[in-house]
Structure 1
Amino acid sequence: MFDKLPVSSKTEEILTKSLDEQITVEEANHLMNVQGHDLYPLLATADYVRHELVGDNVTFINNCNINFTNICTVRCGFCAFGKDAEDPDAYILSDEEILAKAEGAVADGAREFTLMGGVHPDADIDYYEHLLTLLKDNYPKVSIHGFSPTMVRDACLVSEISVAEGFERLKDAGLDTLPGTAAEILTDRSREIICPEKVTVAEWVDIVKTSHEVGIPGSSTIMYGHVETLEERVEHIDVIRKLQEETHGFTEFIPMTFMHEYSPIFLEGQSNLGATGTQDLKLYAVSRLMLRD
């Protein structure tokens, strides 16, 4: 496949292997650092593997985000959304406001609601059940993709119940899938900088694993381009891969580049400006080769 390309022998060896099986963490780290003539074979190989595994069909879902509150006690360094309760811009949507948003979205063809908000200090499982029931009673055919591992964990703490019981109750109330948020970068070194008050890597894995075991699948994400290293990007993907091999509960993998402009860590000079275009291409390509079946 690479006979006429000026690709290095190590890159060629890894890419040839990737045509038939997943690449290792060490191999992924090598590919994350390729430059020059090695870059284009990486991109072409990942695209070829994608085509062989899933073809050229592209799917999407008409989705509506319903951010029911921006009050948040977990103030992450990358986030410009969360507010203190006393902030003049803080809000909690009423039931009527939530239904108005849902009605407009469904009229435009929405088939999924993403129910998300800040980590409100008083939010318990009863409140989240209420939000789910509110939407399901009015729009039973619309899927609900809701909350985050951190939100569920904190609500269970407020309600003094286990995370497993919390997920069982949310499922019964109408939660269909769990967003892959709160993952950010799954290395504790980076998390200490960007989201020290969020769940640790081990806690995130345990919560998501519990969700899958209860029967709530969900997406997986990575937010990159802030303070993490290239090796940490690979480490994150490997965490996702190992969990998927165990539970088969992830429906998709969503890379999201860091939006720096209003984030505290950028304004304080602690972060990068997000990923470059070349880094985006590498991340997508390496992810495909690490996460292939």
Structure 2
Amino acid sequence: MKNRPITYSKNIFIPVTNVCRNKCAYCGFRRPAEHKDAFLMTEEEIIPVLKRGAAAGCTEAMFAFGESPEQNPEFMKRFGKQLNDAGFKTVIEYTEHLCRLTLDYGMLPHVNGGVLSFDELKRLAPLNASMGLMLETTADVLAHKDCPGKIPAARLEMIENAGKLKMPFTTGLLIGIGETRNDWIESLQAIQKLHGKYGHIQEIILQNYTPNSGQENSTRELKAPTKADMIDLILLTKNTLTPDITIQVAPNLMSPLELIQYGVTDLGGISPVTIDYINPESAWPKIEELRNLLSSKGYEFKERLPVHPQYVKKGWYGADTKELIEKLADADGYRKTDGL
């Protein structure tokens, strides 16, 4: 085996709501609140997913959902009563409850709900093993027209606030949305600057824009990157970021094997239970198939928790997750394989 393991997390994906204040041109997940397919998941819908995840041995529940949906008056008209009847005023309050529920089922929450205020981050941090927000780009691109949450300064501020809270953080770049190669470099430098100050960036996702049939506002600036583009970005990332930041690609969006040889070390959350709701037309590969493929090339495919091993060992994670992390992690901070 080669010395460097390729890591992944076994997870479930819970899309709490697909209503979002942003109107990204490339998004196939978002729906306006008045759309027939808009939803706010109920606890009764979420509990069976938690049970299935626990039964499948998943350790991560990723809560990804639309940003600040309450800013859309139609959301509150349609879903406000559902929230209030459940005892909550906001989606963040509801998510806090869902995180507690997740811990009860033996899985670790990882929330990625768009730009959150410092107070919202502070509220959720104790219940999360790690949290996330894609920077995407520091560029002003047409694909982000009518997207108040995609202002780069706002996203960088949240990433910095996570650092102030010592919250292990996942961020990343999305390429093919109208940005340039120089924008890649500027975005990577911005991430490294924050990591140099706080030391909390556990991984960077390098995500290629992938067309999907659910897009509402496609523009001509959108262009699916080639494998050569991704290799170029991986090499730039290796040369810009310190090696303690894991480089991740999504194995359902581009075949990972060739990318690994250029510096990718992680394949992110892979679910045996739920689909990728952001890219629903791109199915997850089977974990065992990936393991066999990587093994044939001399790589160990090693399961981790949603908080990366170095942060497990440092004790950087939400206080309420400590007991479960100590149960799930081995001495090196990876997923324990026996004795659970």
TM-score, normalising length from structure 2? 0.61
Deviation track 1:184-212 (CA, whole Å, cap 9, x = no partner) reads 2122x227745632142222111111112
The aligned runs of 1:187-202 (5 Å cut-off) are 187=139, 189-190=140-141, 193=144, 196-202=147-153
Deviation track 1:13-67 (CA, whole Å, cap 9, x = no partner) reads xxxxxxxxxxxxxxxxxxxxxxxxxxxxxxxxxxxxxx8xxx4212211011111
The one-letter code of the counterpart of 1:145 is: H
Is it true that 1:166 corresponds to 2:120 in the alignment? Answer: yes
Q: Distance in 2 between matches of 1:246 and 1:149?
A: 22
Deviation track 1:124-151 (CA, whole Å, cap 9, x = no partner) reads 5422222212222x22x4211102342x
* Aligned pair partner of 1:145 in 110, 121, 132: 110
SS in 2 for 1:69: coil
CA change 1:149–1:217 in 2 (3 A) is: farther
Q: Distance in 2 between matches of 1:280 and 1:61?
A: 22
CA change 1:261–1:142 in 2 (3 A) is: closer
Cα deviation for residue 265 of structure 1 reads: 4.8
Residue ranges of structure 1 left out of the alignment (5+ in a row)? 1-50, 154-162
Q: Distance in 2 between matches of 1:118 and 1:289?
A: 33
Counterpart in 2 of 1:224? 175
Cα RMSD, aligned residues only: 2.0
The one-letter code of the counterpart of 2:64 is: M
Counterpart in 1 of 2:165? 214
Contact preservation (8 Å) 2:133, 2:155: no
Cα deviation for residue 286 of structure 1 reads: 1.5
The aligned runs of 1:179-194 (5 Å cut-off) are 179-181=132-134, 183-187=135-139, 189-190=140-141, 193=144
The one-letter code of the counterpart of 1:70 is: N
Q: Distance in 2 between matches of 1:57 and 1:270?
A: 37
Contact preservation (8 Å) 2:144, 2:150: no
Counterpart in 1 of 2:30? 82
Larger relative strand fraction: 2
* Aligned pair partner of 2:185 in 218, 228, 234: 234
**Of the two, which has the highest radius of gyration?**
1
Number of residue pairs aligned between Structure 1 and Structure 2: 222
Counterpart in 1 of 2:338? none
The one-letter code of the counterpart of 2:199 is: H
Where relative contact order (Cα < 8 A, 6+ residues apart) is larger, the structure is 2
The one-letter code of the counterpart of 1:197 is: P
The aligned runs of 1:1-293 (5 Å cut-off) are 55-119=3-67, 120-121=69-70, 123-136=90-103, 138-139=104-105, 141-150=106-115, 152-153=116-117, 163=118, 165-172=119-126, 174-181=127-134, 183-187=135-139, 189-190=140-141, 193=144, 196-262=147-213, 263-266=215-218, 268-272=219-223, 274-293=224-243
Deviation track 1:164-223 (CA, whole Å, cap 9, x = no partner) reads x32222123x12211233x22122x22774563214222211111111211321112110
CA change 1:195–1:256 in 2 (3 A) is: farther
Counterpart in 1 of 2:318? none
Q: Distance in 2 between matches of 1:252 and 1:215?
A: 14
Larger relative helix fraction: 1
CA change 1:111–1:236 in 2 (3 A) is: same
Residue ranges of structure 2 left out of the alignment (5+ in a row)? 71-75, 77-89, 244-340
SS in 1 for 2:220: coil
Contact preservation (8 Å) 1:220, 1:250: yes
Cα deviation for residue 106 of structure 1 reads: 1.6
TM-score, normalising length from structure 1? 0.70
The one-letter code of the counterpart of 2:32 is: D
Contact preservation (8 Å) 2:195, 2:201: yes
Q: Distance in 2 between matches of 1:249 and 1:237?
A: 15
SS in 2 for 1:113: strand
